[in-house]
């Protein structure tokens, strides 16, 4: 007898509950329920990891916990054990993001001054808790992948001399490439490997604080002639991903990738989903199939309903992006305070963390999103084929441990019964409207 392990979240009062195992039967069920067909012979992209952004605000809140509580929390989040939710990837900001106390870079100068050789570069210029917290995380799980993105160049490099909006002055392209190199090297000196960088977070967002505009032509020039060569000389194992913004503008990464010099240094495209739909990832990959797709940011708003947020993010951020070739799935900030107050004066308000740290620790929709997906779909897993009948949205993978993992959300308005068919074996399941489930079973069935 082969069993299917099941974990189900029905609503905010019924969270990630382990249900009784179901069994496979070699007899076709005598019902007319829709059937999800799972095909391990159809293989797609590998999975590199799941996680959050370790913002300055997140690190500050985690660092403020007592040593025992902090270690217990980080093990719950990152340890490669059955008790952890299995976070395996983190995104950092190079300098400040909007979810920190103030805007800063690692090479700020007095007004009117420049520092093209970066003599004043200082990794400790702001958000001092990020590196120590990350070192604690890596001590728990050294295989956690780290991706880094700048929200802004140092203001003296920019057209408007400000942390908000403006563009990178071409005369400082070499200095800005040097800035990335110094960051990667400084992190390496602290035992932190930066797996990948993006040249600019949200290059079409001029309202955030900090922020910086960067056209596709500018990004192709900067990557192809400056950042790419500089990193290849000094940190060849740090990849570059272009774009790092919404799915409504696939023309931007296509323009960057059309530049042969830039494409030689670009490993893939990073995406957000505040606008557009995830199929933009497939459209870009269809033209450049060697390029990786990474999904690097989506926030949960503090005013969102828990069940609605979990349903939407499971449907779009996990299932939608992986079915459109994403190898990484990242939510926005890891931790927030009860009022989501840790942000710059012009930064986004109401960005709910995966956890809330106050007098107690509350686990939010993002936490359970990762519990249902990243806990089971481990790095090195491979997406496999699965059909999506009648609002039963899903994604299936085969893990390095030779298990099939499938995440399913009932995106309909009524409770649904359905069958799973794998290798001509069947099992019948039931999910409430909006419920999220994770199913796991051996990849090799032996049914008498």
pLDDT of residue 26: 87
pLDDT at 447 over 70: no
CA distance 92 to 97: 9
- Burial of residue 5 (CB within 10 Å: 0-12, 13-18, 19+) is middle
Q: What is the mean pLDDT of the chain?
A: 97
Phi-psi region of 48 (alpha: psi -120 to 50; beta: other; left: phi over 0): alpha
pLDDT, tens digit, 9 for 90 and up, residues 282-310: 999 999 999 999 999 999 999 999 999 99
Q: Is the pTM of this model over 0.95?
A: yes
Summarised one tens digit per residue, pLDDT across range 66-78 is: 999 999 999 999 9
Average pLDDT for 33-62? 98
- Domains in the chain, start-ordered, CATH in brackets? 3-45+383-442 (2.60.40.1180), 48-379 (3.20.20.80)
* CA nearest to 304, candidates 12, 44, 3: 12
pLDDT in tens, 164-186: 999 999 999 999 999 999 999 99
Find the mean pLDDT for residues 54-69.
98
pLDDT at 42: 98
Average pLDDT over residues 346-364: 97
Judge contact between 126 and 95, C-beta under 8 A. Answer: yes
The token pair that represents 257 in the structure block: 């990738």
Angle, helices 67-78/56-63, rounded to nearest 10 degrees: 130
- Tokens 């740290």 identify what position? 357
pLDDT value of position 2: 87
Which residues, at least 6 apart from 226, have a Cβ–Cβ distance to it below 8 Å? 173, 174, 176, 177
pLDDT in tens, 361-409: 999 999 999 999 999 999 999 999 999 998 999 999 999 999 999 999 9
- CA angle (432 as vertex; 431, 434 as ends), nearest 5: 105
Residue 1 banded pLDDT, cuts 50, 70, 90: confident
CB atoms within 10 A of CB 171: 10
Q: Give the model's pLDDT for residue 446.
A: 77
Across residues 433-447, what is the average pLDDT?
93
Whether the bond between 210 and the residue before it is cis, its omega within 30 degrees of 0, is yes
CB count, 10 Å around CB of 260?
9
């Amino acid at each position: 007898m082969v069993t299917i392990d099941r974990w189900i979240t029905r609503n905010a009062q019924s969270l990630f509950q382990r249900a009784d195992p179901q069994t496979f039967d070699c007899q076709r069920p005598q019902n007319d329920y829709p059937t999800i067909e799972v095909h391990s012979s159809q293989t797609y992209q590998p999975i590199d990891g799941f996680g959050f952004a370790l913002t300055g605000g997140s690190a500050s809140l985690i660092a403020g916990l007592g040593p025992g509580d902090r270690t217990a929390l980080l093990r719950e989040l990152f340890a490669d054990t059955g008790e952890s939710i299995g976070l395996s990837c983190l995104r950092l900001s190079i300098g400040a993001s909007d979810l920190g106390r103030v805007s800063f870079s690692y090479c700020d100068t007095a007004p009117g001054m420049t520092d093209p050789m970066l003599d004043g570069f200082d990794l400790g210029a702001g958000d001092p808790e990020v590196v120590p917290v990350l070192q604690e995380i890596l001590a728990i799980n050294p295989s956690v992948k780290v991706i880094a993105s700048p929200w802004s160049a140092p203001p003296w490099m920019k057209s408007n001399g400000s942390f908000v909006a403006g563009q990178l002055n071409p005369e400082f392209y070499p200095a800005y490439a040097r800035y990335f190199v110094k960051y990667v090297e400084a992190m390496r000196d602290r035992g932190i490997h930066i797996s990948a960088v993006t040249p600019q977070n949200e290059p079409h967002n001029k309202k955030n604080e900090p922020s910086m505009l960067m056209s596709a032509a500018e990004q192709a020039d900067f990557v192809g002639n400056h950042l790419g060569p500089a990193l290849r000389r000094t940190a060849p194992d740090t990849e570059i991903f272009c774009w790092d913004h919404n799915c409504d503008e696939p023309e931007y990464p296509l323009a960057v990738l059309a530049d042969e010099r830039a494409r030689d240094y670009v490993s893939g495209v990073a995406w957000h989903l505040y606008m557009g739909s995830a199929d933009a990832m497939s459209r870009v990959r269809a033209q450049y199939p060697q390029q990786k797709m990474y999904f690097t940011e989506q926030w949960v708003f503090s005013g969102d309903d828990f069940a609605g947020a979990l349903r939407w993010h499971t449907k779009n951020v996990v299932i939608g992006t992986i079915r459109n070739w994403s190898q990484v799935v990242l939510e926005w900030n890891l931790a927030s305070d009860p009022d989501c107050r840790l942000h710059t004066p012009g930064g986004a308000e109401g960005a709910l963390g995966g956890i809330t740290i106050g007098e107690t620790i509350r686990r939010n929709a993002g936490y359970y999103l990762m519990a249902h997906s990243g806990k089971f779909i481990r790095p090195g897993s491979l997406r496999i084929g699965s059909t999506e009948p009648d609002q039963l949205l899903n994604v299936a993978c085969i893990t390095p441990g030779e298990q099939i993992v499938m995440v399913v959300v009932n995106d309909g308005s009524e409770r649904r019964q359905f069958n799973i068919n794998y290798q001509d074996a069947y099992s019948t399941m039931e999910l409430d409207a909006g419920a999220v489930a994770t199913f796991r079973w051996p990849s090799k069935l032996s049914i008498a």
